Each structure stands twice: as structure tokens, then as C-alpha cells.
Chain A
């Protein structure tokens, strides 16, 4: 299924030069380090093997450093990384957005972390709970208020299994001692209470928030309660799947089919109990390396649990990953994995037969976070599509290293891209599809270029697993082949007829 293509590196070099010329000198210099064109490939590299395959290119750029003021970075903050990504999806805990009302309001129900439960009774994911700081809380401190908030939440939600305190900017600035409050109240109400120092000004992006959230799970959850559980030989945790649009479920069904038991899912549709029992698993399977590698390293060190990266986007990578995971457990599971791959082959073939002819050769530019700027590349290639450029909001250098296993020579690479740069890149390259976030969606579409949100799956999904791949293929097709893109030019200004394919 692999493709052989190379991007127009010379054009991409030129476009980088062009965008840099718009900056004041000092900042052109700084931004230059974040932009590059992927160089050189190993001979015979196919791209189908992902991070376990050969290196396709080198796409090193500077990353994980402060955004430049005033440039319209797409990045979020540590609070978004902790509350929005890592903690928020844990469904049977109440997550307090501690501070003023806004942070919790804007992130309320926006990440599509699907879960099963009776909201407001035994699960609380799609709720916005905040201490709603007022001026007096800033002046006199918010610890007393926090204590009261916890008491009131206990009255309102007696079936909750715990509480997290997600710090917003002011908390760290006014010197509140949320740890002391958490300790005191944990004793009083006998529930897990986790203080998280994820103030938005910490670090340079969401990334530090992920790390801080991982650390608080380590320090305030693991080994704190004896959650009896009979471990089995095929127990695994899925780490870094937030169940966006049901991703974790479309993955879980495959893992169960190859004979594994998913003890804990971190953290989409998760309960506190799942997290507490995780150290008893035999293997940690990590999907979003960026946001949860920390806890994997910790569990490896402390409990001797090995961890393994995998990729469940698109059939090529799913097969590679299933085989890799199965290998860890031996021949019995390996045989089942082969059977599962075989079972889904007709579906994969049918999906590709239907959609590949409609998408073949279409070019894609990506700008997302976490794992997706590399992980989804092969899913596109499975459909015959080509990646012209990709970049991360908050990657570190190890992410760009891994990216080299996915992207081809000449691919445009952009780290912490600014609104200006992305617009110019897209304008000059004019890909057939852009995959990025809500802030990027509408400018791109107005330029006449099809777009899919690749954080929220544009309210669709799941995209993981074989079931998800069918949806992914359908969505890319409906985005690109919708007739609206042919209506942009009024007939009295039109000079050529659009090329379209009717829906099937």
C-alpha cells in the first residue's frame, strides 16, 4: 500500500524564506529555527512501517521553546494540557477549574472525550465545575473557598470517586496552598483529591501540563489505595488514548479480539479505579507518546512494566502495531492477531477500493498536536494521499525524530507555526486538504481548500482501529469531494469547470 513520492523541497525552502521576510529581523532569526524541509531518505524505505521502520527523512527543528509574543501562536497552556487532555476525561471524578470562570467555560465539553455514565450522578466529564474566583479571592487567597467548594461538591455529587484541583494562572501567583487543602480534605471525606499545579503560565505550551498531570497521578493516585484486583497474564493498559469520538473503544475492541484485557484506559472513558489498578498490568501500550510517556517511564522504573508505542491509524499501521503488540505476548496471541488482521481485510479492501480512487494523489498539510502530525500520515497514504507538510503545536525533539520515520524528503516541517506562516504556506502550496484545528478551519475553507479538524475529528470519529479507518476515509472523501468547493467563483468570473466526484 505504500506510496513513493517526494515533495518539492525547493519550493518549500523558498516559501520559508518568504514568510520569514515579514518578521522583524530578530524574530525572523528565531522563527527560522522552527521551520525546515525534510532532508534525505534511506534507500528502500517504504514508509509503511512507521517508527519501527527505516528512517525516511530528517526533519529536525527547534521545538518546545517559548512562543514569540504577538505572532498568533496556535498553542494552548498547561491547564489545557492537564485539565483538557489528561485529567478531564477521567469520568468518575469531579475536576475543579480552580480560578476565574473562563478556562473551564471555554474548555467545557470541547474535547469530545466520550464516556458512558449518568452525567452529574456518577460521571462528570461534560460539566464545568469552577471556583469562579472573584477579586476578594485574589486578594485574600482562595484556599478557604476551595475547601468550601469541595464540601459543596461532596453534597452535590456524593457518588463521585474523587476530585482534582486544576490550577488556573492566579493560583500560583497568589501563593495558595492547594496541596494542604487537598491533604486535609482527603482525610475528611475519604476520597482521592489531587491538587494539580497546571497554571497556564507554566512552561511554553500544553506540554508541561501533560507532564505535571502525569506526575500528579504518580504522586497522588498510584499506590495510594488498595484496589483489589486479580491480574491476568494478558493485561495491558492503553495509555494516551482520550477516546475522542470513541477512539479508545474502536481500539479496545481489537485488543480484546487478539486476546488481551485492557485493565486501564488512560484516560478516555476511564475511572479512577482503572488508573489505580494500572500498575498490575503486564504492558503499557502508548498511543499519544507526547502527553503520557512520563507515566510509562515511571511505571517501567517502579513496577517493571514495559511500554510500547503503537499506531492505530490506518490499516498499514494497525497491522504493524497488532503484530508488534502480539509478539510481546507470544505465539498464541500472535496467531490471534493474524486472524484479526485477516478478519478485517475484506473491510479494509472494500474501504480502499471505494475511497482510494477518489483520493489518490491528493496532497495534505497537517498541523496538530500530540502524535497526530506523524501518526495519521500512513492512514492518508493508505488512501493514496500524499503529505506535503506537517508540524506540531507542542512537540519536543524526540517527536521530530520519530517524524523522520513517517515523512518523505522535501516535506515542509513547521514547529509552533504562527497564523501568518500557516496561511502563507497553505496559500503557496495549495494542498487538496488541510487537517488542523478549529482556529484554522475557517480561514482555510475561505481560501477554497477543504479542511478537517484533526483534534476533534470535526465532530466525527472514531478514527482509530479498523472501524475508525472506514470513517476516516469517508470523512476525507466528503471533505474533498463536496460540490461546494466548485461554487466559489461566480459564473460571470469563472474560467474553468471544477473537477468533482459525486457522493457514493
Chain B
């Protein structure tokens, strides 16, 4: 009997025990009708070939292991960045259970959102009554200061019109007439979660700004974009902006919402951009988006108000941070303080100390478009080569920008850009053109297993490691974390490759 009270074995060890191994072999041989071991081995080998890769990359309809989610997830994340705001997703209720779970599994935090719980009758008659009842219930039970409405694909397919529905609900007294109910249509069959983010931010701004006269002031709006590292990153943005003495409004700040303390009380709402600040942001001098692909429509909309706009692709590493600081410095008319110059120097110092271990390393990078762009840039700054750059939600325009970026450095010479491709395609790419490291989300762990390439988890979602998102990756300080995370994997790999006593451990060096 493998189990004992003294040393309880759970799944990680229990099923390795002979009793279970024998049972599973018996199951397979007697009952499963499996493919033969030879056929499995032959197919496994075949998937490593260029022939398989060709077919894999030629797929036009089947999507296998995509690295993207749907619009409403982005909208729910966006709404979480505003003061005491409840996300209300109009449509089927299962979707909302999924967004909440998805966000909770990454942040290890509560994720609140409600659904209008539409079912078959609503599919026939429309979901107006669900909106009327739903808003009333959310308002009384959860006492939010604002309810941000988005849609599941069900409501989009049947064509429910949020604007008129919300007006109707207000007339019926679900919420007071002057109560804030911004909305965004977020069809799951268009774009991805980064577009849902974009649509919700635009919806919120339009709700507060529409019909108002802009009086140009001197603050700068900063929109961080969809960011699973918002907890660490937003605080780092704020620290930098405070150091620079800039007057700013962070539009959409979920850093406190997804990082509430354990002190005996559950806070359904915490932090976020205040509604007053959101409204006043119309009068800003300029708006800076830190993730351009997350804010395409929003920036166009803001541009139309007469504000200056600027956008970046997630400020990872040296040059990207330099550019951001210089732009903010120019927009706000402030100098870049000595403190930040010092931090820059420290990051460069660290990079110089470690350059020998990074120079010439090859990477596969996947994630959202802005992340991949930023990461490829940082990798090249360390002398690495971003061999495969893949974004399932990357567009043709993204591919173009990526090619320009890669062409700007000798380290990007052999790199390829894969917009719209999924992680099953990346499997073929990595098996035919191997790399040293894989950078992405937890979904990459299957690629790590199948290709033997160590995975460095640096982007959303990270389900199987804890708390990474609490530390910033952006700016010079964040750059240190980024650098160290990559280096840890490099050194761990060196150690793993040299740990067999009397065989490979000649290189098991104490100092590296």
C-alpha cells in the first residue's frame, strides 16, 4: 500500500507508485483500445519535421492552443481599474464565471463581475428585461459607484442595443437617472481581449466626456493597457511620474483592486481611477498610451477632443524607457530627475555584468502584441535574438511594426514574426528551428514539455507560479526584475545541464 498517514502522498507522487503504474498499464492494455506504441512514436517524430510544420502553418480554420482571449475579458479588466466600479456583462452568465475565474487564477485575488443571465427566452425576445432587473439588483446589492456594461457574444449576435437598454432601465428606475453606467459593445468574435480593453476605456471616457467642452490644462493622462502585471507596473509608473513631478492621471488603474490586503475584511472595491479624475481627464494636455495595441480606438477618440496623444509598446528595458521618459518630459515640461538617470545606470551596470550569459541566446516570444514587441526589443538590448515572435492577436499592422523593429538591430536579422498564429504552430517552429528559451505565459509550459525549451513566465496569464505580477517589469527598476528573471532561468539551465556526478558536473561551477 503506497499511502500512509506519516507521509501522505498526493497526485504528484502517488501515481508513480507500482500499484498505480501496474493498474494504469492494465487499463490501457485491456480497455482503452489505444493507438499502438509504434504509431504514437512515429507520429511524435513526424510532428518534429518540416513537413508537419508546413501543414501546421498552413491551417486556416482550426485554431489550436491560441494565446488570446475574448473581448469581454479585457472589458472586465478595464472596468476593474475605476473607482468602486462593478462590471456588468450583458449576455449568458457562464461567460462571466469564466472571466472571474480567469482573472482570479492569475492574480490570486477576488474578481467581481455580474451577468444579466440571459437564457433562451432572452435569445428570442431580447435581453431588455434582464438589463432592467440586472442593473437594479447590482445597484442594491453591491452598491457600486459606477456600473460598466459590456457584452457577451450572445447579446451581440441577437443585436441588443446597450445604449437604449440602459436608457430604458433608467426610465424604469433600475438606477437613478444621473447614475454612471458607461458601456461598450465587446463582441467576442472580433479582435481579442486587448480590443475589449480598448472599447471599454473608450466607452468610459465617452460616457464622461460626451457633450462637454474641453478646457486644455497641464495634466498628462496615462493609459496603461491590458496588463497582468498591473499590480507591480502601475505602482512603478506612478513612482516614476511622481519622481518627475508630473501632474498626471492614470486612466484605468487596477493595481489596488487586484492587490487587497488580508486583514479580516473582504474589499469588493479598492483604488482605481476616481470618477472625478476620469471626467477631468478631458482637460488634460495630452494622453499617453503605454500599450498602443490596447488603445487604438481610444487614442483616436481622445485625439478628436483636441488632446495631443502619444503611444508606446510597453516600456520594457532601456531604450523603451528612455523614449517614454523623454516624451513625458517634453509633454509636461519637466526635467528627467537625477534619480532616474541613476536607476538607468544601475540597470545598464547589471546588464553589463551579465552580458556574457545573454549574448547570442535565442528566444521564442509569445503574448499580446505590445508585450512581444517590448520583449523582443529588450532581448535585443541584451544581445539576444528574438528568433520567433508570435502574437495570436497580432494584426498585419503589428507584423509590419515588428519587422521594422527587428530590422533596426543586427540581433533581429534572423528573427521571424508570426501574427495570428497559435501555440501549436509555435511548437512546430520551435521543433524545426530550436531556441534556447521561451518567453511567454503559463500556456507555454506545454511547449517547454514538448520541446525541452525552458519557459520564462513574464506575461499574463501566469497560473502556475505565484506573485510574479506583484513586481514591476517596466522602467529601469522593472528592467532589473526582467533581467534577473531571465538570468535565473539561464543559470538554472546551466546547472541542470551539469549536475550528473562524475559525468557532466565538471561545469557545475560555484561562481558564474
A contact set with B: CB distance below 8 Å: 22-24, 27, 66-80, 92, 96, 99-103, 105-108, 110, 114, 116-122, 126-135, 137-138, 145-146, 148-149, 151-153, 155-156, 158-159, 161, 168-170, 172-174, 200-204, 206, 227, 245-246, 249-250, 252-253, 256, 261-264, 269, 271-274, 277, 343-344, 347, 350-351, 353-355, 418-420, 423, 437-439, 441-448, 460-462, 466-467, 470-471, 473-474, 484, 488-489
Contacts and interface: CB of A to CB of B under 8 A. Distances in A.
B497 interface: no
18 contacts: A69-B130, A69-B137, A73-B93, A75-B94, A76-B98, A102-B70, A114-B15, A119-B446, A148-B60, A173-B123, A200-B152, A204-B119, A253-B20, A253-B23, A271-B31, A274-B33, A471-B10, A471-B14
A448 B263 CA distance: 7
Nearest to B264: A448
Interface string B84-127: 00001001111101111110110011111111111110110000
A228 to B, nearest CB: 10
Given A137-B189, A252-B27, A173 B35 contact: no
B162 to A, nearest CB: 14
Contacts of A122: 34-35, 39-40, 43
B141 A23 contact: yes
Contacts of A467: 2-3, 9, 14
Contact of A100 (B24, B133, B188): B188
Nearest to A271: B32
A92 B137 contact: no
A249 B142 contact: no
B200 to A, nearest CB: 15
B158 A133 contact: no
A352 to B, nearest CB: 8
Given A200-B94, A350-B4, A488 B263 contact: yes
B192 to A, nearest CB: 7
Given A106-B69, A203-B119, A439-B101, A447 B94 contact: no
B95 A120 contact: no
Q: Which 10 A-B pairs give the minimum distances between C-beta atoms? A: A77-B94, A273-B33, A102-B70, A70-B134, A69-B134, A106-B98, A350-B5, A70-B137, A100-B188, A148-B61
B11 A201 contact: no
Contact of A135 (B70, B114, B187): B187
Contacts of B268: 443
Given A173-B157, A173-B158, A447-B266, A200 B95 contact: yes
A68 B133 contact: yes
B8 interface: yes
Nearest to B154: A169
A82 to B, nearest CB: 11
Contacts of B10: 245, 460-462, 471, 474
A484 B46 CA distance: 50
B68 interface: yes
A149 B61 contact: yes
Interface of B: 1-6, 8-11, 14-15, 19-20, 23-24, 27-28, 30-35, 39-40, 43-44, 47, 55-56, 59-66, 68-70, 72-73, 88, 91-95, 97-102, 104-105, 108-120, 122-123, 130-131, 133-138, 140-142, 152-154, 157-158, 187-190, 192, 260-268, 424, 427, 443, 446, 450
Nearest to A150: B62
A201 B104 contact: no
B399 to A, nearest CB: 18
Contact of A253 (B19, B136, B260): B19
Contact of A245 (B11, B47, B131): B11
A439 B100 contact: yes
Given A126-B446, A159-B39, A70 B136 contact: yes
Nearest to B132: A69
A70 B65 CA distance: 32
A116 to B, nearest CB: 6
Contacts of A152: 59-62
Given A70-B134, A420-B142, 11 more contacts: A69-B137, A102-B95, A102-B98, A120-B47, A122-B43, A128-B66, A151-B61, A200-B92, A249-B20, A271-B31, A350-B5
Contact of B122 (A145, A201, A245, A470): A201
A70 B133 contact: yes
A462 B14 contact: yes
B190 to A, nearest CB: 5
Contacts of B427: 120
Contact of A419 (B9, B88, B112): B112
Given A70-B133, A102-B73, A134 B190 contact: yes
Contacts of B101: 106, 110, 437-439
Contacts of B134: 69-70
Contacts of A145: 61
The winner among B3, B122, B265 for most chain A CB atoms within 10 A is B3
B3 A466 contact: yes
B60 A201 contact: no
A253 B412 CA distance: 55
A406 to B, nearest CB: 25
B190 A135 contact: yes
B157 A24 contact: no
A433 B127 CA distance: 38
Contact of A202 (B120, B130, B450): B120
B5 A351 contact: yes
A15 B479 CA distance: 51
A159 B43 contact: yes
A90 to B, nearest CB: 11
B33 A201 contact: no
A73 B104 contact: no
B4 A347 contact: yes
A118 B48 CA distance: 14
A269 to B, nearest CB: 8
A355 B189 CA distance: 51
Nearest to A81: B94
Contacts of B133: 27, 68-70
B192 A80 contact: no
A317 B504 CA distance: 53
A174 B98 CA distance: 23
B308 to A, nearest CB: 33
A202 B142 CA distance: 27
A148 to B, nearest CB: 4
A101 B423 CA distance: 14
A246 B11 contact: yes
Contacts of B190: 134-135
B19 to A, nearest CB: 7
A23 B98 CA distance: 25
Contacts of B66: 101, 105, 128, 130, 132
Contacts of B111: 439
Contacts of B267: 446
Contact of B31 (A117, A130, A263, A448): A263
Contacts of B136: 24, 70
Contacts of B33: 161, 227, 271-274
B63 A121 contact: no
Nearest to A467: B3
A159 B35 contact: yes
The winner among B66, B88, B98 for most chain A CB atoms within 10 A is B98
Given A27-B133, A102-B98, A159-B43, A277 B31 contact: yes
B15 to A, nearest CB: 6
The winner among B39, B40, B94, B95 for most chain A CB atoms within 10 A is B94
B271 to A, nearest CB: 15
A445 B262 contact: yes
Nearest to A124: B64
Nearest to A471: B10
Contacts of B44: 118, 121
A237 to B, nearest CB: 10
B141 A420 contact: yes
Contacts of B443: 108
Contacts of A133: 153, 188-189
Contacts of A174: 157
